[in-house]
């Protein structure tokens, strides 16, 4: 198929197969639920001290109208960008909803990033205003004083930023294709790229998740992930909103309060990442005294999940993991395991292929496996995971070079390697085998780090093990293992190497073990594997043989 034909096909998929929006904007959803369910709880928030607050749909809508009016009074108009220096907090949620109701665009700043990257995000996005919680207000004011596009900074915590009299009901901006969110990638090299998402992107993905997980108005979804990222925003803020349900917002994840709050708030669904599953397994007794019978399942994605970790969690707690996959560039989730799988089918797709399946494509997009030339590959053959459809981003902000590379053949190229297999119904179940840039190329052969991670995860006493490709004179790259042991466990390198070789052929098995106490992760729990490469520099000149 010619390149022009591939691009045409991808554009047709993006434009003609778009599901209908149930409502045209985020503000119109909030306005409708405030009228239909005024006293129903919309947001329950726990602050850093564990203090609980609850806001009804009517009260939330009043606060958002005041917030939108206050932003307008500051000169913010539809299409303008507003940066937020904040964390998980009820006022942060109100700020987001106010900005979207006005038709402006949220630029959430990850406050765990380095100061230079935070400044870059505010400057690159051409934000006109900064909203900041008290912890970050000094930085916000300093940025406003030095960046020419920023007109000022407002404090969120005191609620005075929205102390504006609203004389009449505020009419939400209803332009679904207007920019709503710019999320900056957390890459380890080069400046971060701004992923531009529209209100339609956000709402279509939220609607798809609502329907997939059968979210009803009486349900509660708990947010333990940061809401400066699409997972926290789309899954546990906007999905409940389009269902008329409620969000239970946590200041941050804590295994000490996780089960307790699920029980207290009658939570039905929680969105997590694999690292949180591992933390919960360290304290399995935490569930014993809590009644969580209303918990249906955990949504899990945004990081490498091993078969072993998933098995341990599901068998320990008796709670199903609904595994999925997506990126900021695809709004949030693009694939998800179906909820209608029998226990046997669920185990099959989670355990029998060496990798847990990331599920089938959600109705909001198309997913395929392509070779380097953009040709679709058959079942079982590894290639790049590509996505097309109305949940795919509008593009990278002010980065035509990155856009050209990301959409080479019309589809969005995720940079992830994977494959798919079909079930008896003909559905394509996808699997991710690793980041293409993290594949270990040993002697010209591509090795999946996830497959090696899986072998390490089976070794008794290993809390977490990551395969790391390190530079080697003889094979270009060799396989190393970075291992964190469980508390109180003592293992030597040779024991780990021998155990790995029982599951892997020599060319895939680690040749070197480095023990550590922690693994670098992004704020959303993704392992930063390439940051571990310097630990293996000592073995650059070493030739490893099977004998």
Q: Is the pLDDT of residue 506 over 60?
A: yes
Mean pLDDT, rounded, for 475-491: 91
In a domain, 247, yes or no: no
pLDDT given for residue 233 in this prediction: 97
Residue 219 in contact with residue 240, Cβ under 8 Å? yes
Q: Any residues with CB less than 8 A from the CB of 402 and at least 6 apart, and which?
A: 193, 396
Q: How far is CA 441 from the centre of its chain?
A: 27
Residue 438 in contact with residue 469, Cβ under 8 Å? yes
Mean pLDDT, rounded, for 468-485: 88
In a domain, 517, yes or no: yes
Q: Residue 167: pLDDT band by 50, 70, 90 thresholds?
A: low
With a pLDDT cut of 70, the percent of the chain lying above it is 95
437-462 per-residue burial string, b: 16 or more CB within 10 A, e: under 16: ebbbebeeeebbbbbbbbbbbbbeeb
Express each pLDDT in 227-264 by its tens digit: 999 999 999 999 999 999 999 999 999 999 999 999 99
pLDDT given for residue 231 in this prediction: 94
Report the CATH number that the domain containing residue 486 is assigned in CATH: 3.30.300.30
Per the structure, the count of domains in the chain is: 1
Q: Walk across the sheet containing 476-485 and list its strands.
A: 462-472, 476-485, 512-516
pLDDT given for residue 6 in this prediction: 46
pLDDT given for residue 69 in this prediction: 93
With a pLDDT cut of 90, the percent of the chain lying above it is 74
Q: Residue 275: pLDDT band by 50, 70, 90 thresholds?
A: confident
Mean pLDDT, rounded, for 66-74: 94
Spell out the SS3 assignment of 484-544: EECCCCCCCHHHHHHHHHCCCCCCCCCCEEEEECCCCECCCCCECHHHHHHHHHHHCCCCC
Mean pLDDT, rounded, for 220-230: 96
Q: Residue 12: pLDDT band by 50, 70, 90 thresholds?
A: low
Mean pLDDT of the chain: 91
Mean pLDDT, rounded, for 169-175: 83
Mean pLDDT, rounded, for 524-539: 85
pLDDT given for residue 15 in this prediction: 52
pLDDT given for residue 3 in this prediction: 43
What H or E segment, with its residue span, contains residue 198?
A: strand 194-198
CB neighbours of residue 167 within 10 Å: 7
DSSP 190: S
In a domain, 509, yes or no: yes
Residue 9 in contact with residue 2, Cβ under 8 Å? no
Tokens of 98: 């106010």
Q: Exposed, middle or buried: residue 280 (CB in 10 Å: 0-12, 13-18, 19+)? A: buried
- Taking the C-alpha atoms of residue 391 and residue 331, their distance in angstroms, rounded to an integer, is 6
Q: Any residues with CB less than 8 A from the CB of 296 and at least 6 apart, and which?
A: 213, 268, 269, 320
Q: Is the pLDDT of residue 10 over 70?
A: no
Q: Is the pLDDT of residue 202 over 90?
A: yes
pLDDT given for residue 546 in this prediction: 81
pLDDT given for residue 2 in this prediction: 45
Mean pLDDT, rounded, for 494-508: 92
In a domain, 135, yes or no: no
CB neighbours of residue 53 within 10 Å: 11
Domain that holds residue 529: 439-539
Phi, psi of 56, deg, nearest 5: -80, 170
In a domain, 482, yes or no: yes
Residue 387 in contact with residue 365, Cβ under 8 Å? yes
Mean pLDDT, rounded, for 523-534: 80
Q: Any residues with CB less than 8 A from the CB of 214 and at least 6 apart, and which?
A: 339
Phi, psi of 334, deg, nearest 5: -110, -30
DSSP per position, 249-295: EESS--TTTHHHHHHHHT--EEEE-HHHHHHHHT-GGGGTT---TT-
Is the pTM value of this prediction over 0.75?
yes
Mean pLDDT, rounded, for 349-355: 94
In a domain, 111, yes or no: no
Q: Is the pLDDT of residue 185 over 80?
A: yes
Q: Is the pLDDT of residue 446 over 90?
A: no
In a domain, 209, yes or no: no
Q: Is the pLDDT of residue 271 over 80?
A: yes
Mean pLDDT, rounded, for 287-312: 89
Q: Residue 424: pLDDT band by 50, 70, 90 thresholds?
A: very high
- CA-closest candidate to residue 98, choices 145, 46, 159, 141: 159
- Tell the residue number behind the tokens 């904007």, with chain if given: 25
In a domain, 65, yes or no: no
pLDDT given for residue 186 in this prediction: 66
């Amino acid at each position: 198929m010619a390149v022009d034909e591939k691009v045409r096909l991808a554009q047709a998929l993006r434009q003609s197969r778009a599901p209908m929006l149930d409502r045209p904007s985020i503000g119109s959803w909030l306005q409708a639920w405030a009228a239909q369910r005024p006293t129903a709880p919309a947001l329950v928030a726990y602050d850093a001290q564990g203090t609980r607050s609850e806001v009804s749909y009517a009260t939330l809508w009043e606060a958002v109208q005041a917030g939108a009016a206050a932003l307008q009074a500051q000169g913010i108009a539809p299409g303008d960008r507003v940066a937020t220096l904040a964390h998980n907090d009820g006022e942060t949620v109100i700020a987001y909803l106010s900005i979207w109701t006005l038709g402006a665009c949220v630029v959430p700043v990850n406050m765990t990033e380095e100061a230079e990257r935070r400044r870059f995000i505010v400057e690159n996005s051409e934000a006109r205003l900064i909203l900041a919680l008290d912890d970050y207000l000094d930085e916000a004011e300093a940025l406003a004083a030095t960046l020419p596009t920023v007109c000022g900074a407002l404090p969120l915590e005191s609620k005075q930023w929205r102390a504006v009299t609203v004389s009449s009901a505020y009419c939400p901006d209803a332009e679904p294709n207007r920019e709503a969110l710019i999320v900056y990638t957390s890459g380890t090299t080069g400046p971060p790229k701004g992923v531009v998402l529209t209100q339609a992107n956000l709402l279509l993905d939220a609607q798809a998740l609502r329907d997939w997980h059968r979210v009803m108005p009486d349900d509660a979804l708990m947010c333990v992930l940061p809401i400066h990222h699409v997972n926290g925003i789309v899954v546990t803020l906007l999905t409940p909103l389009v269902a008329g349900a409620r969000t239970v917002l946590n200041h941050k994840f804590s295994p000490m309060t996780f089960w307790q709050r699920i029980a207290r708030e009658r939570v039905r669904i929680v969105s997590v990442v694999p690292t949180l599953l591992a933390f919960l397994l360290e304290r399995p007794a935490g569930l014993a005294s809590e009644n969580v019978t209303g918990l249906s399942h955990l949504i899990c994605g945004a990081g490498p999940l091993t078969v072993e970790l998933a098995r341990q969690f599901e068998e320990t707690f008796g709670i199903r993991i609904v595994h999925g996959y997506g990126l900021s560039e695809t709004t949030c989730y693009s694939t998800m395991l179906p909820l209608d799988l029998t226990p046997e089918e669920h185990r099959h797709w989670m355990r029998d292929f060496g990798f847990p399946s990331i599920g089938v494509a959600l109705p909001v997009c198309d997913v395929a496996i392509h070779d380097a030339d953009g040709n679709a590959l058959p079942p079982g053959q590894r290639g790049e995971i590509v996505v097309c459809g109305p949940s795919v981003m509008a593009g990278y902000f002010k980065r035509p070079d990155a856009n050209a590379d990301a959409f080479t053949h019309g589809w969005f190229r995720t940079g992830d390697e994977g494959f798919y297999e079909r079930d008896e119904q003909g559905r394509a179940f996808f699997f991710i085998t690793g980041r293409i840039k993290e594949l270990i190329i040993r002697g010209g052969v591509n090795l999946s780090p996830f497959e090696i991670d899986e072998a390490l995860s089976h070794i008794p006493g290993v809390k977490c093990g990551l395969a790391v490709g390190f530079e080697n004179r003889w094979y270009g790259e060799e396989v190393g293992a970075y291992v964190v042991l469980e508390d109180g466990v003592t293992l030597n390198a040779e024991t780990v190497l021998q155990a790995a070789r029982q599951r892997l052929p020599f060319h895939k098995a680690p040749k070197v073990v480095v023990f550590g106490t922690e693994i670098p992760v992004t704020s959303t729990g993704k392992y930063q594997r390439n940051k571990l490469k310097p630990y293996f520099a000592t073995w650059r000149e070493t030739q490893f043989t099977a004998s």
